[in-house]
Amino acid sequence: APAASAPAETKEDKDLIYVGFVQVGAESDWRMANTKSMQETFTEENGFKFEMVDAQQKTDKQITAIRDFIQKDVDYIVLAPNTEAGWDTVLGEARDAGIPVIIVDRMIQTSDDSLFTAWVGSNFKQEGYDAVDALAEALKLKGIDPKAEEINIVTLQGTMGSSAQIGRTDGFAEKMKEYPNWKMLDRQSGDFTQEKGQEVMESFLKSYPDIDVVIAENDNMAFGAINAIKAAGKTCGPNGDITIVSFDAVKAAFEAMIAGDIDVDVECNPLHGPRVKEIIEKLEAGQTVDKIAYVKEDVFFAKDAANIIGSRQY
Ligand code: GYE
């Protein structure tokens, strides 16, 4: 008789490194790509037990999730903080429990560096600076002298108090001083979602008849803005009236650049899974890790999008 089939070769739970991931939410294409990168990396095959909490863009849900992971005595907590402030107490609890915390993507505000082991993410302020150069170049490509004409700008901001929002808003505001002829008419949060981006853009279009530029602090809000602009009978993109500068450079944004709707996109890389894995593996091996690590990023113009889209991973 055939032998009873042996149980599939699985590692014992105790051999796996238990990682609790506190995610921001599912608000954007960037976020979905980030979640996928984490899920594909922290597999049992790779030696991990992985659990993720989607905090639905609520910082208090993230704090609760950290406490749950402390209760479960995970080996590592990976935190993508929604907003920057208010982490000292709960991260102190993780430290007291001896659980290393790795922060990913956005940053926290703290005066105590020992509350986290390492951080990896983007330099959001640099992205804001890059967006100013990108806009100047996009205007030139349309035959507009960025130093000469009056340029009316509105900004769709990300989740207020998140480092992605703070860095992009502040970086842009600081560097745009190089162009005294640029005027920021208004800035409002669309919470990094397409739906709210569209709502805010609709109200901007009602309040300001003369918008030249939209800065969208992520691609999904740019998609909402494009819908609002078209619904209002206006045009955008390299051949349109309103110049659109966006952040993230996800695949759908390349498609929007190819379609002629977005002028330029400042890249933000969400593929943090392998980076966090490397940090954990080094810690497991008793090696030191960089406390702060920035990811290198690029800027992409609509005219190049068709050639580049094939090589994009997210
Ligand atoms: O730009 C946005 C997402 O924190 C870098 O969060 C991330 C931002 C990203 O919702 O699309």
In order along its 314 residues, the chain shows pLDDT tens digits of 455 555 555 566 779 999 999 999 999 999 999 999 999 999 999 999 999 999 999 999 999 999 999 999 999 999 999 999 999 999 999 999 999 999 999 999 999 999 999 999 999 999 999 999 999 999 999 999 999 999 999 999 999 999 999 999 999 999 999 999 999 999 999 999 999 999 999 999 999 999 999 999 999 999 999 999 999 999 999 999 999 999 999 999 999 999 999 999 999 999 999 999 999 999 999 999 999 999 999 999 999 999 999 999 99
Residues lining ligand 1, Cβ inside 6 A:
27-28, 30-31, 105-106, 122, 164, 192, 218, 247-248, 268
CA of 7 to the centre of ligand 1 (A): 42
| Atom number, ligand 1, closest to the C-alpha of residue 30 | 11
Dihedral sign computed on CA atoms, order 243, 247, 252, 253: positive
Let me know: does 174 contact 128? Beta carbons within 8 Å.
yes
Assign 3-class secondary structure to 137-154.
HHHHHCCCCCCCCCEEEE
| pTM over the 0.80 mark | yes
Assign 3-class secondary structure to 204-247.
HHHHCCCCCEEEECCHHHHHHHHHHHHHCCCCECCCCCEEEEEE
Question: Tens digit of pLDDT for each residue in 1-49?
Answer: 455 555 555 566 779 999 999 999 999 999 999 999 999 999 999 999 9
Pairing of strands 17-23, 48-54: parallel
Residue whose CB lies within 8 A of the most ligand 1 atoms, among 22, 24, 29, 30, for a mutation test: 30
Give me the interface pTM, i.e. the ipTM. Answer: 0.99
Name the residue at shortest CA distance from atom 7 of ligand 1: 164
Pairing of strands 299-301, 264-267: antiparallel
